[in-house]
């Protein structure tokens, strides 16, 4: 309908600017490289791009350590290049989202430098979280909060008198000091940053660690995780580090700013939350006066297993549906889920939809992840999940690539929107970056990450038969590109109707053309509703998509011949043997 907002069923293509295309031949990707290759995104059939941080940064954490929120990293280009990128994308029909990093900045941000050099009591310290240490001489951190990247979430500074002094809070790297969101100057600064980019035509923000920002500022210890003996990062408990009540107020404040743009050419601006939270808490971000989208990471985190994935999909859709009055029918269809409760409080979600994702710049490439031997692993036990998701090797990548193709079909047939991470459309596998080339700060510090996250951040192979595969004119690329990618280049896959690239184009085209896809209802199939499934339960997932409008007058037959009409059936075989289907199914 006319009222359907663009983002509800959008496909958004994530660009990692350091690795998309190197136009100036210095071994690092850049904005001119993105602008010159937007036709690739258009040819895929995506609706929008999201660009990971492009700001000036010491690159301690790949640009998620921002030194200046209102400029462009000189290695990536200039503000003029950003303006050209945005207007070129718009002219090609693509929306542009960028990354907002509001939990922390870089230790090189001028405000933080001033806070450190100003000494204890300087007003600038209140924009961050500085505290005296504990212990007889303040030599111990203020509390037991752990950093996501390993070690304590506190770093001690050297005071102007040359002596060790106060500690500052950093949820991630010590080079990423956390902002104090109780400080009104911090809030006002982010208002200004939002308007700065909205005024330049940016359509919205992906909000980094959107469940952090506001902490319990009484800074109570977190419970000890018995497995590590350290403070826990667990978000399934009421954890004072994450998802605190004051967050809603910040989100409402930003949404009000997004609404100021409702009558401009781009329309109301959008926010998509990046938050690894249980479904029921995630959907609270999607109240009408808060954010529009929120990634559903449990789908990405799930093992390649029919039961596990169905459990995740049900939980996610039920959480979305139960909070939205217009989707009650869908909720009933999904059955009752004891573990997904209607959220407390007055927030009411109006017809929110899920946002699916199978890859990003933080996780192992799907072709590698899904190629791991998965026996007896159940997503419901996170310890098991750690095992499959964080150890890059060994993996049967050919098998993984086939499963990743099936995962794409599943993802794109589900109700809601979806994000595609650059290179996923080529079936790229995780690269084993030699240890002396690793840049990611997580790889040694964090107990559960093997080689860090560089393996999914390697530059994109565009053409040619050898590295750097047309990506740059220099072979000195910031991360090495593997020899076996010659057959995975865009050029190699472009002409091959069976390639992963061709599959992505076909599936995204189907989404655009078929009104049963995108937002709207889904119904699981079993052997009662579809006899072809007799005997394959357990290793086949099948569901029907049906257009939400119009409702049939006396319809019980709808969906019986779903391929021919406006409906569609999605069937995924998780087993190793082919499943014969008596239907005109397209088999990949
Ligand atoms: O919060 C987490 C675990 O409890 C993390 O999974 C967290 O959500 C995730 O690491 C956030 O990632 C984002 O912010 C990081 C950055 O390194 C990542 O690249 C980015 O995607 C810090 O800015």
- Does ligand 1 have an atom closer than 6 angstroms to the CB of 456? no
Q: Give the pLDDT of residue 4.
A: 78
Buried b (16+ CB within 10 A) or exposed e, 209-221: bbbbbbbeeeeee
The residue whose CA has the least distance to atom 6 of ligand 1 is 276
> Is-contact 107 169, C-beta < 8 A?
no
Q: Give the pLDDT of residue 566.
A: 64
Ligand 1 atom at minimal distance to the Cα of residue 233: 4
Q: Give the pLDDT of residue 346.
A: 32
- Does ligand 1 have an atom closer than 6 angstroms to the CB of 460? no
Ligand 1 atom at minimal distance to the Cα of residue 103: 23
- Measured at the alpha carbon of residue 213, what is the angle toward residues 384 and 383, in degrees to the nearest 5? 5
Rounded-to-5 percentages of helix, strand, coil across the chain? 30, 15, 55
Residue position matching structure tokens 């995630």: 282
Q: Give the pLDDT of residue 341.
A: 38
Q: Which of 520, 126, 547, 541 is nearest to 305 (CA)?
A: 541
- Does ligand 1 have an atom closer than 6 angstroms to the CB of 443? no
Average pLDDT, the chain: 87
DSSP string, 268-312: S-EEEE-----HHHHGGGGSTTS-SEEB-HHHHHS-S-HHHHHHH
CA distances from 449 to 41, 364, 380, 479 (A): 31, 10, 20, 19
Which residues have C-beta within 8 Å of that of residue 214, sequence separation ≥ 6?
181, 182, 244, 245, 246, 247, 250
CA 208 to ligand 1 centroid distance, Å: 7
CA distances from 462 to 10, 14, 263, 281, 488 (A): 25, 17, 39, 40, 9
Q: Give the pLDDT of residue 554.
A: 45
**Start-to-end C-alpha separation, the chain:** 32
Which residues have C-beta within 8 Å of that of residue 300, sequence separation ≥ 6?
357, 358, 359, 360, 363
- Does ligand 1 have an atom closer than 6 angstroms to the CB of 64? yes
- Does ligand 1 have an atom closer than 6 angstroms to the CB of 421? no
- Does ligand 1 have an atom closer than 6 angstroms to the CB of 362? yes
Alpha carbons within 13 angstroms on the beta-carbon side of residue 439 total 16
> Is-contact 294 281, C-beta < 8 A?
no
- Does ligand 1 have an atom closer than 6 angstroms to the CB of 208? yes
Q: Give the pLDDT of residue 168.
A: 99
Segment 547-572, tens digit of pLDDT: 765 444 443 343 333 334 468 889 99
Rounded CA gap, 525 and 212, in Å? 39
Q: Give the pLDDT of residue 519.
A: 77
- Does ligand 1 have an atom closer than 6 angstroms to the CB of 277? no
Q: Which of 276, 214, 293 is nearest to 247 (CA)?
A: 214
The residue whose CA has the least distance to atom 1 of ligand 1 is 276
Q: Enumerate the active-site residues.
A: 208, 260
Ligand 1 atom at minimal distance to the Cα of residue 453: 19
Cα dihedral 98, 103, 106, 110, rounded to 10, equals 100
Q: Which two tokens stand for residue 580?
A: 């014969």
Segment 262-283, tens digit of pLDDT: 999 999 999 999 999 998 899 9
The residue whose CA has the least distance to atom 19 of ligand 1 is 362
The ranges of the chain with pLDDT < 50 are 1-2, 325-350, 375-385, 387-389, 391-392, 446-449, 550-565
The residue whose CA has the least distance to atom 4 of ligand 1 is 233
Residue in 209, 233, 301 to alter for ligand 1 test, most ligand atoms within 8 A of Cβ: 209
Q: Give the pLDDT of residue 382.
A: 44
> Which residue stretches of 153-305 are H helix?
184-199, 247-259, 279-282, 297-301
Q: Which of 286, 296, 285, 297 is nearest to 244 (CA)?
A: 285
Q: For strands 568-573 and 11-15, give the pairing.
A: unpaired
The residue whose CA has the least distance to atom 18 of ligand 1 is 362
ipTM computed for the complex: 0.97
C-alpha of 493 from chain center: 26
Rounded CA gap, 472 and 469, in Å? 8
The residue whose CA has the least distance to atom 11 of ligand 1 is 209
> Is-contact 20 11, C-beta < 8 A?
no
CA 145 to ligand 1 centroid distance, Å: 16
- Does ligand 1 have an atom closer than 6 angstroms to the CB of 276? yes
- Does ligand 1 have an atom closer than 6 angstroms to the CB of 148? yes
Buried b (16+ CB within 10 A) or exposed e, 524-557: bbeeeebebbeebeeebbbbbbbbbeeeeeeeee
Q: For strands 11-15 and 417-421, give the pairing.
A: parallel
Residue 93: is it exposed, middle or buried by C-beta count within 10 angstroms (0-12/13-18/19+)?
exposed
The residue whose CA has the least distance to atom 21 of ligand 1 is 362
CA 435 to ligand 1 centroid distance, Å: 22
- Does ligand 1 have an atom closer than 6 angstroms to the CB of 34? no
Residue position matching structure tokens 């602008």: 35
CA 209 to ligand 1 centroid distance, Å: 6
- Measured at the alpha carbon of residue 397, what is the angle toward residues 394 and 401, in degrees to the nearest 5? 145
CA 71 to ligand 1 centroid distance, Å: 22
- Find the helix or strand (DSSP H, E) in which 69 lies: none
CA 210 to ligand 1 centroid distance, Å: 9
């Amino acid at each position: 309908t006319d009222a359907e907002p663009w983002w509800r069923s959008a496909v958004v293509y994530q660009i990692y600017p350091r690795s998309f295309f190197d136009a100036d031949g210095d071994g690092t990707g850049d904005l001119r490289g993105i602008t010159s290759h937007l036709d690739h995104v258009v040819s895929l059939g995506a609706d929008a791009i999201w660009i990971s941080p492009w700001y000036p940064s010491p690159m301690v954490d790949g640009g998620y350590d921002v030194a200046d929120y209102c400029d462009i990293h000189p290695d990536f280009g200039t503000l003029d290049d950003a303006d050209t990128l945005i207007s070129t994308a718009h002219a090609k029909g693509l929306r542009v989202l960028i990354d907002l990093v509001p939990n922390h900045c870089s230790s090189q941000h001028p405000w933080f430098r001033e806070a450190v050099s100003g000494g204890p009591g300087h007003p600038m310290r209140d924009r961050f979280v500085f505290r005296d240490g504990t212990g007889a001489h303040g030599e111990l951190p203020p509390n037991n909060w752990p950093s996501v990247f390993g070690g304590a979430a506190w770093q001690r500074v050297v005071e102007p008198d040359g002596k060790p002094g106060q500690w500052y809070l950093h949820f991630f790297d010590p080079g990423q000091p956390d902002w104090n969101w109780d400080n009104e100057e911090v809030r006002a600064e982010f208002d200004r940053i939002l308007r700065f980019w909205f005024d330049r035509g940016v359509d919205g923000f992906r909000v980094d660690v959107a469940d952090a920002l506001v902490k319990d500022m009484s800074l109570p210890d977190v419970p000890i995780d018995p497995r590590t003996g350290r403070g826990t990062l667990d978000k399934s408990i009421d954890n004072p580090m994450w998802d605190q009540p004051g967050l809603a107020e910040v989100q409402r404040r930003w949404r009000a700013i997004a609404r100021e743009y409702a009558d401009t050419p781009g329309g109301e601006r959008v926010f998509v939350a990046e938050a690894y939270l249980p479904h029921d808490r995630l959907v609270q971000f999607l109240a009408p006066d808060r954010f529009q989208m929120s990634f559903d990471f449990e789908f990405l985190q799930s093992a390649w297993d029919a039961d596990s994935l169905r459990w995740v999909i049900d939980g996610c859709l039920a959480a979305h549906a139960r909070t939205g009055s217009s989707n009650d029918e869908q909720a009933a269809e999904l059955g009752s889920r004891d573990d997904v409760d209607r959220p407390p409080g007055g927030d009411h979600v109006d017809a929110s939809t899920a946002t699916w994702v199978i890859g990003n710049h933080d996780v192992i490439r799907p072709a590698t992840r899904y190629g791991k031997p998965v026996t007896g692993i159940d997503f419901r036990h996170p310890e098991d999940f750690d095992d499959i998701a964080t150890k890059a090797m060994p993996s049967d990548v050919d098998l993984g690539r086939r499963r990743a193709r099936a995962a794409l079909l599943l993802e794109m047939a589900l109700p809601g929107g979806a994000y595609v991470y650059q290179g996923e459309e080529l079936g790229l596998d995780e690269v084993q970056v030699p240890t002396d080339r690793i840049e990611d700060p997580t790889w040694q510090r964090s107990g559960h990450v093997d080689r860090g996250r560089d393996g999914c951040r390697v530059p994109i192979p565009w053409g040619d038969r050898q590295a750097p595969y047309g990506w740059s004119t220099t072979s000195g690329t910031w991360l090495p590109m593997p020899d076996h990618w010659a057959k995975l280049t865009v050029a190699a896959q472009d002409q091959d109707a069976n390639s992963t690239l061709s599959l992505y184009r076909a599936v995204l085209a189907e989404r655009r053309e078929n009104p049963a896809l995108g937002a709207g209802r889904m119904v699981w199939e079993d052997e009662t509703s579809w006899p072809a499934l007799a005997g394959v339960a357990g290793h086949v997932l099948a569901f029907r998509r049906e257009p939400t409008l119009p409702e049939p007058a006396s319809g019980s037959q709808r969906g019986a011949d779903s391929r021919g009409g406006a409906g569609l059936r999605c069937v995924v075989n998780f087993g190793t043997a082919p499943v014969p289907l008596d239907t005109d199914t397209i088999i990949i």
